Amino acid sequence: MSLLILGIESSCDETGVALVEAQGGAHVPRLLAHALHSQIEMHQAYGGVVPELASRDHIRRVLPLAEAVFAEAGRTLGAVDVVAFTRGPGLAGALLVGAGVGCALGAALDKPVLGVHHLEGHLLSPFLSADPPEFPFVALLVSGGHTQLMRVDGVGQYALLGETIDDAAGEAFDKSAKLMGLGYPGGPALSRLAQQGDPTVFALPRPLLHSGDLDFSFAGLKTAVLTQARKLGDQLEARKADLAASTQAAIVEVLVKKTLKALRQTGLQRVVVAGGVGANRLLREQLDAACARQRVRVHYPELHLCTDNGAMIAMAAAMRLQAGREQARRDYAFDVKPRWPLDSLC
C-alpha cells in the first residue's frame, strides 16, 4: 500500500510545497515533485525577515505552488492521503499560514493531517538524496536559528549531544556579513567573498573549541568581527575578503572539530549534516577531508534541499508515519509551536 503525502513549509521566509510517496515496508519514501518560493528579495530591503510581510507572502504563494506540484507530479488533489505542514518552530504568523492551509485542505478532502517539526524535516532531508544514510548517525544541524549535535538512532530517536549557548552558526554568518555590508541573508554572500580572501590574516576566536563538551558559542566571534571591522575603518573595504575568509574559517573549524569529537564520544561512523549552513562549501570540504581520514561517511542533503523546503516536511511526515511514531488524524483544530524543542518528539 502506498501513501501520497502533501507537505507544506512556511516557518520563515520560504514557501515550500511537495509531494512524497511512501511505500509500505522499509522502502525510503520517494519525492515526486516540489516547488519553492523564496522571499529573500522582498526582505532584503529591511536587512532581515519582516514577520508580517512573510505571512502575507506565504498566503499569496502557497496555493499556486501546490498547483504547480500537482501538475509536475501528474497527480490530483483528490489523490492525497495525508496533508503535512510545519507546526514549528518558526515565526508564529508564518506557521499559521501553512497550518491553516494544510488543515483546510485536509478538512475539504476529508483526509488526515499531520503537524511536522521543522528541524526533524532538516534532519531527515538527506533521505531525499539518491544515496540515503542508514541509522544510527551523528547529526550536525546548522541553520539560521539552530546549531545542534545529535545522536540519531532512528526516526523520533534523537539525543541532544550539544548545542549553541547563544547565536546559531547561520546567525554568526548572517550577523558578520551584515557588519561587512553584505546584505541579507549574509551566509552565502560571505562565503562567496571568502573565496577571494586569505583566512589566516585575522586571528579570530574559536569559541568553546576546547571546552571539553559539545556546546557551541558564536556571539563572541561576532563581537570580534565587529571589533576588527571598526579597527580597520577605511581599510575595511580593501580587506573585506580577508575578514570574510577569516570569519568563515573560524566558524567552520569549530563545527568540524566538535563534530569529530561527537563521533569519538558516540563511537559512530556516520555523520549527517543538515540545515542551511550545510550548503557551505568550506564546511563540506573540511568535514569530508577530516572524516575520510577516519573512514567516516558524511551525508548531506542535495544542495537545493539544504535550506527550507516542503520536500523535507513531506519526507519527515512520511518517515514518521512509516515508523509508526505518529498517526495522522482528522483533527483540523490546528495550533502552531513557534518554540518547540526537538527532543520533546522522542
What is the Cα–Cα distance from 146 to 138, expressed in whole angstroms? 16
Is the Cβ of residue 133 or residue 144 nearer to ligand KG4 in the bound state? 144
Q: Which of 9, 120, 174, 215 binds ligand KG4 (CB under 6 A)?
A: 174
| 292 beta partners | none
Q: Which stretch binds ligand KG4 (CB under 6 A): 64-72, 104-112, 234-242, 274-282?
A: 274-282
Of the pair 29, 121, the CB lying nearest Zn ion is at 121
Q: Label residues 88-122 b or e (16+ Cβ within 10 Å = b).
A: bbbbebbbbbbbbbbbebbeebebbbbbbbbbbbb
Q: 283-302: which residues touch Zn ion (CB under 5 A)?
A: none
The footprint of ligand KG4 on residues 294-323 (CB under 6 A) is 307-308
Of 82 and 169, CB closest to ligand KG4? 169
Mark the segment that binds ligand KG4 (CB under 6 A) among 58-66, 143-151, 215-223, 328-336. 143-151
Residue 116 carries which DSSP code? Answer: E
Binding mask 169-188 for Zn ion (x = CB under 5 A): --------------------
**247 is an interface residue for ligand KG4 by CB under 6 A:** no
Sole binder of ligand KG4 in the list 144, 162, 197, 301 (CB under 6 A): 144
- Residue 145 binds ligand KG4, judged by CB under 6 A: yes
Q: 263 and 138 in contact (C-beta within 8 Å)?
A: yes
Q: Which helix (H) or strand (E) holds 84?
A: strand 82-88
User: Rule CB under 6 A: is residue 188 a binding residue for ligand KG4?
Assistant: yes
Q: Compute the radius of gyration of the chain from its Cα atoms.
A: 20
CB of 248 to ligand KG4, least distance (A): 8
**Nearest CB to ligand KG4, comparing residues 145 and 205:** 145
Report in angstroms the alpha-carbon separations of 83 from 9, 64, 199, 223, 290. 11, 16, 46, 44, 40
H/E segment holding residue 198: none
336: left (phi over 0), alpha (psi -120 to 50) or beta: beta
**174 among annotated binding-site residues:** yes
Candidate residues 277, 312, 316, 342; the one interacting with ligand KG4 per rule CB under 6 A = 277
Residue 34 · residue 80 · CB < 8 Å:
no
In the block, cell 583566512 appears at: 199
Quick one: which of 123, 125, 124, 101 has its CA closest to 113?
101
Rank residues 141 and 249 by Cβ distance to Zn ion and give the closer one.
141
Q: How far is the CB of 276 from ligand KG4 (least distance, A)?
A: 2
Residue 188 CB: number of other CB atoms within 10 A?
19
Residue owning grid cell 569559541: 207
Pick one of Zn ion, ligand KG4, none as the site partner of residue 174 (Cβ within 5 to 8 A by kind). ligand KG4
Number of residues that bind ligand KG4 (CB under 6 A): 19
* Secondary element (H or E) of residue 191: helix 186-194
- Whichever of 140 and 245 has its CB closer to Zn ion, that residue is 140
229 with 179: CB under 8 angstroms? yes
Stretch that binds Zn ion, among 147-155, 213-221, 226-234, 304-312 (CB under 5 A): 304-312
185, 308, 334, 340: residue in contact with Zn ion (rule CB under 5 A): 308
Which region among 127-135, 141-149, 170-178, 255-263 touches Zn ion (by CB under 5 A)? 141-149
Residue 55's CB is within 10 A of a number of other CB atoms, namely 17
Q: Which residues are annotated as a binding site?
A: 118, 122, 141-145, 174, 187, 280, 308
Residues that bind ligand KG4 (CB under 6 A): 12, 143-145, 170, 173-174, 185-188, 191, 275-277, 279-280, 307-308
